[in-house]
Amino acid sequence: MRNETRGTVELTLAMVLSGTLGVFVVESGASPFEVVFFRCLFGAVALGAYSLARGFFTGHGFTGRKLGLAALGGVFIVFNWVFLFEAYEATSISLATVVYHTQPFFLVLLGAVFLRERISAGKLGWLALAFAGLVLVSGVRPGETASLKGLGFALAAAVLYALATFVTKRIAGVRPHLIALVQVVTGLPLLLPFADFGAVGGPGTGWLWLVGLGIIHTGLMYVLMYAAYAKLPTAKIAVLAFTYPAVAMGVDWAVYGHHIGLVQALGVPLIVLASLKVTLSGSAPARVVAPAPRTAGHEREAASPAATRAV
């Protein structure tokens, strides 16, 4: 199998897995805080075991500053997950996923505010188009507070994800697997005060969903993505990344019977097109697929700037 073909298969599989995450969250029966805590716990085990087996801890490249930045990114990442999973409960997996894809635009705004990066007229146009798509996709009518609440949760998750990317991008010379490991480990003490383990219940299928979130959606999925980025051009990564929302909407319809309406459907291509254009823009800051960015020391194994869709 050719290198690029293998990368295509790896990234497509990773995006398909990402699209099933919502079902694992809902079927676990746990609250968002418990779900994220156990995702961090089992994900840390998976990423730690993989990194140990590959010898990544030798010459890890961390300094005190880099470790602090990775931990700060972890704070944003874990609460990003909490808000996204709250959005699943308040609205639907489909709507939350589409709104979550406004992440690139918040990153552009962060670059303008903190790095004084100029936002071109073209980018402003794409941002306006995305906002129009967001209004259509929300489909919120007067009095529908639940949908409005879910929309707010998804937008908060997108902002936190952009912040995590913005911070983590400052780390150079550290493998993305190790940055991801630090970030999920950071989530354990952060979420412990909020977790009600009694509410999770005793042995049952709920635990299988939680283990799956850590092993499959945090361990296996990240390994597949980081491997794929070393083999694929940015443009192809950007296009394949949209497999995630497509699968998420399909799974939401197949499992729960949820689907977006006609007016909402009109907004989806607007967000997708605008997001793709902003992501591929060379002047936009790079973003990561939760949670590690391209790093200077291990560039071929790190995430691509275009790889921005997984959670």
Cα gap 182→66, rounded to integer Å: 11
- The tokens describing 60, both together, are 């890890």
Q: Is residue 114 part of a domain?
A: yes
Range of the domain at 239: 3-301
Q: What is the mean pLDDT of the chain?
A: 83
Q: Is residue 249 part of a domain?
A: yes
* Band of residue 73 on the pLDDT scale cut at 50, 70, 90: very high
Mean pLDDT of 214-231: 90
Q: How many domains does one find in the chain? A: 1
**Tokens coding 300:** 């071929």
d(CA 153, CA 164): 16
Quick one: what percent of the chain has pLDDT higher than 70? 85
Q: Tell me what the mean pLDDT of segment 254-279 comes to.
A: 82
pLDDT at 309 over 60: no
The answer to whether the beta carbons of residues 11 and 224 sit under 8 Å apart is yes
**pLDDT, tens digit, for every residue of 141-195?**
555 666 788 889 999 999 999 999 899 888 989 999 999 999 999 999 999 888 7
Residue 290 pLDDT greater than 70, yes or no? no
Asked if the structure places residue 307 within a domain, the reply is no
Cis ω for the linkage preceding 285 (within 30 of 0): no
For residue 293, pLDDT over 60 is answered with no
The answer, yes or no, to whether residue 103 has pLDDT greater than 90, is no
Task: Specify if 311 maps to a domain.
Answer: no
The residues pairing with 292 across neighbouring beta strands, listed in sequence order, are 289
Residue 60 belongs to a domain: yes
Residue 153 amino acid letter: F
Q: Is 221 part of a structural domain of the chain?
A: yes
